[in-house]
Structure 1
């Protein structure tokens, strides 16, 4: 459901996010010695590293997190990177071996690849904005309310700690959650002046473009052809299970972690082929950046790149114990930089927060079909990408230094099949815990090497087409044509791909992402958690509430968005009932007893509750309102002060 933002505000929000992605991380990357595609690819990750580190560290020293302190921290980190690099060069700690770059790309090839990345970004914008139906629509899935409230909390309080934003729901102490995503979002929200829903959408819009850039940087690092890199960018913009499916589930930070994961291969390859202080610093920053973007991203990156190490050792390009020993200093430096997150994660694992596995048990044949056709939530398979994937598998030997991608695809696809088909087995639950035993998350991880294989298949088809065309007599008779065959064959294949996929599956992907907004056909007849009228009521609550007041609300209706929409704290700030505050639970069950139950009145006093806000929808189908909040009309201690077709506000008469 939309909130009042103009088109230009939404456009500026997207622009602000792209600038925030590029500038802090770009400065750090330049300071660390990165250039070219490696710099372009790693800059977004380094931005999340910088701002994700800034919040907790500033909180520890008692400073607020805001635009000025975040910029200062980023400049400090860039200065440290520049200083370490300068010191290393002056002391001779930098390898004289040039950074491996592979075949030289012409200026035309670089331009073509940039065009493909821009195409993927444009596809991503069309997909997300079409799915949302409005640039400021409210996300309707489970965790999105937590992310929305968290972003506003950081922006308004300056508390960048790892537990602060969780106090909106788990008060008074909060709960650990890696908050790099929210720290970046808080800056975008503060700078752009847009609403929280518009800020969330602005951060989500270029998701496939970031994925495309990461894949291109990885291919460039391993010396791949420009045709392969451009193909990867196009596949990134078209594949449902790559960037889009996690967004459709509302897993916004997880989706970010997925699209940044390929950058682990960039940093690791640079470090393995040229182990020195510069590449070690980049490797360290990458490790920490992935951990901060999403904790599972680091686990996924380890699994994604493990075949790279095995290939290196099998080919005797390095000695396993020596490579691992060289990684130790980078690992120790990462431990220091990410100390707040690591200590917080350790404390969280020993907390009482419940872990509930999904225990999926779909047939193996269905799981394999989903992998091959790049879809889970969609009914229609993406058959063109399936054909390209098969072509990529059959020509995997031509991957050269990237043959490890085929083994990565086998490993991660195998993990998906285990979790999707045997998710109730105890040992499967144990190893898949970083991904919450969720087959949708494992599919997104497996999609990374599968997208690379499909892109390789497209690039090999282009190579074959160019080779065949170059052998025709009428081509040989024209001296200028052979040099242009490669470009012509690439343009032809991309055009055929666009037609065969109905615009690179834009409509299908928009249907998938629409799940996140309850705008798709599957939502017809189902209640919408946050309606237009509920948004109106939440804004009205912002005008009625007194400073410091908390508003009693039902946990499962859309009013959990109250803080994100109006800045007023709700009693229930998340749909999640796990380890809810005792007062919140008691009031949801007994508030109707306010007149006769002193415990209810005491809880109301402790929380400073003066109003009750009730919506009409529910995040769960066929779930009744909490018993303590039913049938409030006519109760003598309440006065209805506002109502519309989907929401009502009561004032407590004390």
Structure 2
């Protein structure tokens, strides 16, 4: 199943990349971004054309995209300006792939080591909050063929008994549905495999690609180091994998990849002299990121904008070339005009986003999330900054994961800080240090309200600065762990580029006779640092991955009852429209993706409740004596009841109506194991009651 998932993630994008004119290396590196883009477009277009999303229709989308890409190749090439050199490749030549490939391989081995130490079996069922939703949405798309990001999530939430209208980007789920249909594997298995491919493959390649694209020199070294560092921070990618926020993890990695594609396209390297084909590749990748999580588009945009502003600034400050005065003056005016326009446009973005948030219900709902936990004081800022730089947030004991307090990754943090300082000393790379610093401040702003603190320093402008940060953080649900992931991912690129700059400085300042000795010593020190950081990753990430997948809501007792209930339903199929009543917080939502049983609640968040559903959650145990409960069972067409007896988080309370169901004569036991149980509803008038 792993080879099938990898093939579906890489092959379509690689074929399309080659058709667009990308070189073999970049077609392979950019393949996941282009595949996500194809899936995101197809997942919307196919159902709206009245077709089902299947492997056949997805293949049709790929064929159409290939034909369109080949048609773009028929456009005349942009003529090269007289006297201008051909675009140079990395380091002025075709750089060796050995270094970047070795870095990606080391990163993949470290991912395997963490998973092995965690005792993680590929394809396990995640036990965290988001996992059930992703698995159930994938199951719905695979079964119904409806991959529209509005109608599919709405159908999942409505579950046939209520009317819910919602939106959720579903490129991850649409691709996973293709793997499900191709292999017959369950959604939970497929999503775990895709998460592993993102962590061990897409992210290291993406960091390597971006570091190699923006490094002024020694691009191969920057790519190799960046790839290794990419999998060291726990904040990214490990917190996305074990938490089950797989869409966000994929969006984060793909955003870096799209930023690399955009940089190469703007430099003229992606598809030389074919700007339309290059722009098509970048735009398709951006669509893929948006189809995963729109926050990724913001990250890619900030990185590309920072790079472009830096290039314009350096050009504006550069010494004019030795050419006629009129031509030099005109060139300088063009550069400075472009820089001024870019700066003004950048300053206008925050108020525009905030205005849209007041007008758009979707953005407004994102802006409503608030995770601030520290006081708006300098002490609170210091505590939040320490947490962000350390890269490890404390996991609340209320979750019941059993994780002991974990310290920060301070060695890795020190390396990143040193790299930031090194990049800040160069005009060519200072923008990357600034982008990392912006991510840090944004992450701190999700923990501490910065407006009052900044007002102490800059007066009323402090509120405006806080609003500017809010215009960025709202796309990340104002969630600290999401912004900390950005800090970690951008920090990996920073370290890669800084390693290349450090090597340049060593060669520039160390006499030639001593250069080989100094290089060997520096390489040895780098290996020791990487090894120590890798040990820290093993110590912190492995327990988290193990905790995220340790059986709780689908432990042996729960799975035994689920399996038995599914067997009963297979032997005696449910009447049309019949459902299984369940407590939304006890893991019973997994009945849908694991056994395709139509449960009332398909996610831990119950959403809008009808009076009938509210009555069942509060008083189902009174079914023998309460006519209202009996009528609710009829109205909702409930055939069976499942009770897992264990909430997804230890701090959550089970529905009071789902306790002591063994005492109800109107509920016939079907299966019991430990705290889990299932019952047939015998209330007259319900679909499965005796005639």
- Which category describes the TM-score, using the shorter chain as reference length? 0.7 to 0.9
Alpha-carbon distance in structure 2 between the residues aligned to 1:231 and 1:352: 39
1:245 matches 2:239 = yes
Query: 1:433-452 to 2 correspondence within 5 Å?
Result: 433-452=474-493
Contact 1:169 1:571 in 2 (8 A): no
User: Is 1:632 matched up with 2:626?
Assistant: no
1:83-162 to 2 correspondence within 5 Å?
83-89=71-77, 92=78, 98-104=86-92, 109-128=96-115, 130-131=117-118, 133-162=120-149
Matches within 5 A, 1:608-647: 608-647=637-676
Matched, 1:193 2:156: no
**How many residue pairs are counted as aligned between the two chains?**
605
Q: What's the secondary structure of 2:646's corresponding residue?
A: coil
Distance 1:249 1:42, change over 3 A: same
Q: Secondary structure at the match of 2:639?
A: strand
CA distance in 1 between counterparts of 2:619 and 2:368 reads 27
Question: 1:406 Cα deviation (Å)?
Answer: 0.8
Partner of 1:312: 311
Match of 2:329 in 1: none
Q: State the secondary structure of the residue aligned to 2:148.
A: coil
Q: Is the 8 A contact 1:498 1:504 kept in 2?
A: no
After TM superposition, the structure 1 = structure 2 runs for residues 268-417 of structure 1, keeping only pairs within 5 Å, are: 268-274=262-268, 276-316=275-315, 319=335, 349=362, 355-361=368-374, 363-377=380-394, 379-396=406-423, 401-417=428-444
Aligned to 1:221: 213
Q: 1:652 Cα deviation (Å)?
A: 0.7
**Distance in 2 of aligned mates of 1:94 and 1:504:** 51
Distance in 1 (alpha carbons) for counterparts of 2:590 and 2:29:
34
Q: Which moved more, 1:386-395 or 1:48-57?
A: 386-395
**Pairing of 1:169-180 with structure 2 (within 5 A):** 169-172=157-160, 173-174=163-164, 175-180=166-171
The within-5 A match list for 1:439-588 is 439-460=480-501, 471-472=512-513, 492-493=524-525, 495-501=527-533, 503=535, 505-518=537-550, 528-545=552-569, 546-547=573-574, 548=576, 549-580=578-609, 583-588=612-617
Q: Distance in 1 between matches of 2:195 and 2:58?
A: 21
Report the Cα distance in structure 2 between the residues aligned to 1:413 and 1:465, rounded to whole angstroms.
29
| Separation of aligned partners in 1, 2:366 and 2:260 | 36
2:443 and 2:484 in contact (8 A); partners too: yes
> What are the Cα deviations for residues 426-447 of structure 1, in whole angstroms up to 9, with x where unaligned?
9566653211111111111122
Task: Choose which of 10, 17, 31 in structure 2 pairs with 1:29.
Answer: 17
Q: Tell me which moved more, 150-159 or 165-174.
A: 165-174
Helix, strand or coil for the counterpart of 1:83?
helix
Contact 1:359–1:423 (Cα < 8 Å) also in 2: no
| d(CA) in 2 for partners of 1:105, 1:398 | 27
- Looking at structure 1, the residues matched to 422 and 651 of structure 2 have their Cα atoms a distance apart, in angstroms, of 51
Q: Residues 15 and 504 (structure 1 numbering): CA distance in 2 closer, same or farther, change over 3 Å?
A: farther
Deviations along 1:395-424, one digit per CA (max 9) or x if unpaired, are 215766443211111111111111122289
CA 1:352–1:84 in structure 2 vs 1: closer, same or farther (change >3 Å)? same
Contact 1:56/1:160 (<8 A) preserved? yes
Unaligned runs of 5+ in 1: 1-12, 327-345, 476-481, 520-527
CA deviation string 1:56-106 (max 9, x = no partner): 2111011111112112212211221221232354xx589997444230467
Residues 378-401 of structure 1: CA deviation (Å, up to 9, x unaligned): 723323322321331232157664
The match for 2:354 is none
Q: 2:7 aligns with which of 19, 28, 31?
A: 19
CA 374–352 in structure 1, closer or farther in 2 if over 3 Å, else same: closer
The Cα shift of 1:247 comes to 2.4
Q: 1:132 to 1:60 in 2, by over 3 A?
A: farther
Which residue number corresponds to residue 479 of structure 1? none
Instruction: Map Cα deviations across residues 216-274 of structure 1 (whole Å, 9 max, x no partner).
Output: 11233335421111000010021222312222332111111111221232233234334
Alpha carbons 2:374, 2:448 under 8 Å: kept: yes
> Is this contact kept in 2: 1:168–1:570, CA < 8 A?
no
Contact 2:172/2:247 (CA < 8 Å) preserved in 1? yes
The TM-score normalised by the length of structure 1 is 0.83
Among candidates 56, 74, 79, match of residue 62 of structure 2: 74
1:55 deviates by: 1.7
Which residue number in structure 2 is paired with residue 212 of structure 1?
A: 204
1:283 Cα offset (Å): 2.5
**Structure 1 residues 412, 123: CA separation in 2 closer, same or farther (over 3 Å shift)?**
same
Per-residue deviation, residues 113-162 of structure 1 (Å, max 9, x unmatched): 11211221222233245436322321111111100111111112211121
Instruction: State how far apart, in whole Å, the 1-side matches of 2:613 and 2:365 are.
Output: 17
Evaluate the alpha carbon distance shift between residue 586 and residue 192 of structure 1 in structure 2; reply closer, same or farther with a 3 A threshold.
same
Bigger CA drift: 299-308 or 392-401? Answer: 392-401
2:671 aligned counterpart, secondary structure: strand
Which residue of the partner structure matches residue 355 of structure 2?
none
- The 8 Å contact of residues 88 and 94 in structure 1, kept in 2 or not, is answered as no
Query: Which whole-Å CA distance do the structure 1 matches of 2:561 and 2:367 have between them?
Result: 33
- Deviation at residue 368 of structure 1 after TM alignment: 2.3
Indicate how the Cα distance of structure 1 residues 622 and 227 shifts in structure 2: closer, same or farther if over 3 A, else same.
closer
Query: Are the counterparts in 2 of residues 121 and 207 from structure 1 also a CA contact under 8 Å?
Result: no
The structure number with the bigger radius of gyration is 2
Give me the whole-angstrom Cα distance separating, in 1, the residues matched to 2:540 and 2:641. 41
Contact 1:37/1:220, CA 8 A, preserved across alignment: no
For structure 2, the residue ranges without an aligned partner over 5 or more in a row are 269-273, 317-333, 343-358, 395-404, 453-465, 683-688
Instruction: Go from structure 1 to structure 2 and tell me whether the alpha carbon gap of 1:403 and 1:279 turns closer, same or farther (over 3 Å shift).
Output: farther
Mapped contact 2:159–2:599 kept (Cα < 8 A): no
SS in 2 for 1:315: helix
- Aligned counterparts of 1:188 and 1:517: Cα–Cα separation in 2: 21
- Return the alpha-carbon distance in structure 1 between the equivalents of residues 46 and 665 of structure 2: 49
The question of whether the paired residues in 1 share the 8 Å contact of 2:366 and 2:475 is answered with no
Cα distance in structure 1, aligned partners of 2:364 and 2:256? 32
Q: TM-score, normalised by structure 2?
A: 0.79
Would the aligned equivalents of 1:37 and 1:217 in 2 still touch at CA under 8 Å? no
- Whole-Å separation in 2 of the counterparts to 1:136 and 1:244: 16
SS of structure 1 residue aligned to 2:75: helix
Q: CA deviation at 1:27?
A: 1.5
Q: Give the C-alpha shift of residue 518 in structure 1.
A: 4.4
Q: Classify 1:496/1:564 alpha carbon distance in 2 versus 1 (closer, same or farther; 3 Å).
A: same
Deviates more, 1:255-264 or 1:497-506: 497-506
Say whether the 8 Å CA contact 1:28–1:77 is kept in structure 2: yes
- C-alpha deviation, 1:498, in angstroms: 4.5
Q: Assess if the C-alpha contact under 8 Å between 2:374 and 2:384 holds in 1.
A: no
**Contact 1:237/1:504 (<8 A) preserved:** no
